[in-house]
A and B are shown apart, each in its own frame.
Chain A
Amino acid sequence: MAEDIKVDLELDLKGLLCPLPMVRVSQNIGKVSVGGIIKAIATDPGSLADIPSWAKSTGNEVIKSEKVEKDLIFYIKRVK
């Protein structure tokens, strides 16, 4: 049902290693309004744990994540 998610901002985080994927997400979350969605595409396997942890620490929400070939795709909702 990925087609149903309205993405407000797409971030290409491919090739970035820890801690950069979560740093880039945090630097960009303010660019969407509350309730807005960032689609982040990473390749670092560490981000599988890091992005959801970041969301937990900051009070935001990963509404969906998927793996497409080598890409790890996260849909992150700005909650506050």
Chain B
Amino acid sequence: MEEKKRKLSMVVFSGDMDKLMAAFIIGTGAAASNMDVTMFFTFWGLRALKKPVNTGKGFFGKMLGLMYGGDIRKAGPSKFNFYGMGRWMFKKMMAGKGVLSMVEFRNLALELGIKFYPCSMSMDVLEIEDKDFIKEAQPSVGVGFFIAEALESQITLFI
């Protein structure tokens, strides 16, 4: 009787607010439609899992941590960010219309059982460590893990 659940696997490459929002909307929609959902966060997308801490070990890593610092709340739109003005405006507009904030979207995803996996290779490059992530993040994985998940999925996306 037990039906095997259908599956969605997603690579989240972007750390832009608008693209992260699309990723979370599709992810939560799929989870609500009774699918298993796995989200792999790589490169700029790692921001979505970060705590608001300074990252980096070496000089360049620390510089990057400063320039690209902050957690998911610091994610700006891919267009019209204007050094944070755009982010501020979008947040106002979204809140006014009753759209969830990025943190609320992430919490909803967790509530629906979506699994978040950080990519270990981009963590290495950007000098971000496991301790820099929210506690709900899964242990870091590589591309082999994603391929295995994608092979079992009916839907795969790259955002």
Contact = CB atoms under 8 A, between A and B. Distances in A.
Contact of B32 (A15, A16, A17, A22): A22
Interface of A: 15-20, 22-23, 25-27, 50, 54, 57-58
Interface in B8-58: 25, 28-29, 31-34
Contacts, number: 33
A23 B98 contact: no
A20 B33 contact: no
Contacts of B98: 15-17
B28 A19 contact: yes
Q: For this complex, into which size category does the number of interface residues on chain B fall?
A: 10 to 19
A7 B100 CA distance: 29
A20 B100 CA distance: 9
Contacts of A50: 29
B108 interface: yes
B118 to A, nearest CB: 24
A23 B32 contact: yes
Contact of B33 (A15, A18, A54): A54
Given A18-B25, A19-B25, A19-B28, A26 B100 contact: no
Looking at A20, A22, A50, A54, the one whose CB has the most chain B CB atoms below 10 A away is A20
A17 B33 contact: no
Nearest to A80: B3
B121 interface: no
Nearest to A56: B33
